[in-house]
Amino acid sequence: MTASNFAFGLGVGTHNSNAEWLELYYPLPVLAPSEALAGAAKKYDNDRTLGKDQLETLAHELDKAGEREHAMLARRVRDSGRPAACVLLDNEEPPSNVPEAYLKLHLISHRLVRPHGTKLDGLFAILPNVAWTGEGAIDIAELPERQLAARLRGEVLEVSSIDKFPKMSNYVVPAGVRIAHTARVRLGAYLGEGTTVMHEGFVNFNAGTEGPGMIEGRISAGVMIGAHSDLGGGASTMGTLSGGGKLINGMGEGCLVGANGGTGIPLGDRCTIEAGLYITAGTRVTLIDAKGHPVETVKAQKLAGKPDLLFRRNSTTGTVECLTNRSSVELNDELHAHN
């Protein structure tokens, strides 16, 4: 990634009564914009709300830069009368305001940037907590008045959530995915083509799947799931916001975490955790060789990232055991090692 012209977006969004940003929608975000596109956007402050004249000037400059689609968008936004912002991120730095934060979240959900591919430090302090309703984003302090106004019209203002993050599907619907319950996938999630998120599945921001794969459990912030991997019903992954510290957790390709299981360590390719077993970095694991004999006991963290492992609990002793998946023999030497 170059140090300049990191990303561009023309967004339309929502203000509260103090003209402060609540959220923004970027239909055409661009990663590594051309010099011509960046040049057309450089004069605009990332946090400034653009007026009609500024949007017309921007549209004219985008036309000159050969960016016809963005010029057309600028004119449509101008005619809408909605609050708009033009954001150019010169460098890959943490977001400094709401328009920048929303552009970064869009970049991930549009699959332009992978989780951990853009700096999101300080994101929670920047994003406002918002009431997400059938009438759009509403400032929490202004919600009671809007609810009363709806009642006086004989209506009920439906509040779907109170959160800093909206659901992804109201902003981005990536190609080739199925989401059974859209409220369970936050903006800033990365869903690779072929991903299915079932009703109880959940995907946080800055996390996601390579696809294809089946997600019936929880993908916590910062966690990436490899292709052809399944997260069973009620299963979960420990993320950086849920006790995982700075360890970047994830699952490789062809993995399976059974129902109500989970992992607090990154799994290599073709690993399996049996149903109901949760592996954390400190879990004591007994290594079993190809003949079924115990070799040594280690903390699970020592096995982080290693492929072709099967984690199970011995039903007699209750001991957590690890052995090589029968479909592969490459890890036998690792399991036999005593150092």
> Is pLDDT larger for residue 47 or for residue 195?
195
3-state secondary structure of 200: coil
- Asked if the structure places residue 1 within a domain, the reply is no
Looking at the predicted structure, is the pLDDT value of residue 1 above 70?
no
138 - beta bridge partners? Answer: 131
Same domain, 158 and 182: no
Residue 273 has a pLDDT of 97
- Asked if the structure places residue 48 within a domain, the reply is yes
Map 28-85 to HEC letters. CCEECCCHHHHHHHCCCCCCCCCCHHHHHHHHHHHHHCCCHHHHHHHHHHHHHCCCEE
**What mean pLDDT, rounded, does the chain reach?**
92
Rg, C-alpha atoms of the chain: 24
> Concatenated DSSP letters for 290-337?
TTS-EEEEEEGGGGTT-SSEEEEE-TTT--EEEEE-TT--TTHHHHH-
Catalytic residue list contains 93: no
Residue 334: pLDDT band by 50, 70, 90 thresholds?
very low
Looking at the predicted structure, is the pLDDT value of residue 242 above 50?
no
**Domain interval for residue 136:** 132-163
Interval 128-153: pLDDT, tens: 999 999 999 999 999 999 999 999 99
Same domain, 250 and 143: no
Same domain, 118 and 178: no
- Asked if the structure places residue 2 within a domain, the reply is no
Residue 252 has a pLDDT of 97
Calpha distance 298→334 (Å, rounded) = 12
Looking at the predicted structure, is the pLDDT value of residue 3 above 50?
no
Q: What percent of the chain has pLDDT over 90?
A: 87
Residue 240 has a pLDDT of 67
Same domain, 119 and 14: yes
Residue 85 has a pLDDT of 97
- Asked if the structure places residue 67 within a domain, the reply is yes
- Asked if the structure places residue 61 within a domain, the reply is yes
Count of domains forming the chain: 3
- Check if the beta carbon of residue 86 is closer than 8 Å to that of residue 99: no
CA 210: distance to chain centroid? 12
For the residues 277-303, what does the mean pLDDT come to? 94
Calpha distance 229→208 (Å, rounded) = 12
Looking at the predicted structure, is the pLDDT value of residue 169 above 50?
yes
Catalytic residue among 92, 216, 274, 330: 216
Which residues make Cβ contacts (< 8 Å) with residue 292, sequence separation at least 6? 323
Amino acid 36 reads: A
Which residues make Cβ contacts (< 8 Å) with residue 144, sequence separation at least 6? none
Nearest alpha carbon to residue 61 among 75, 71, 51, 76: 71
Residue 329: pLDDT band by 50, 70, 90 thresholds?
very low
Same domain, 296 and 173: yes
Specify the CATH number for the domain of residue 138: 3.30.60.70
pTM above 0.85, yes or no: yes
Preceding amide of 212 cis, omega within 30: yes
Residue 178: pLDDT band by 50, 70, 90 thresholds?
very high
Looking at the predicted structure, is the pLDDT value of residue 338 above 50?
no
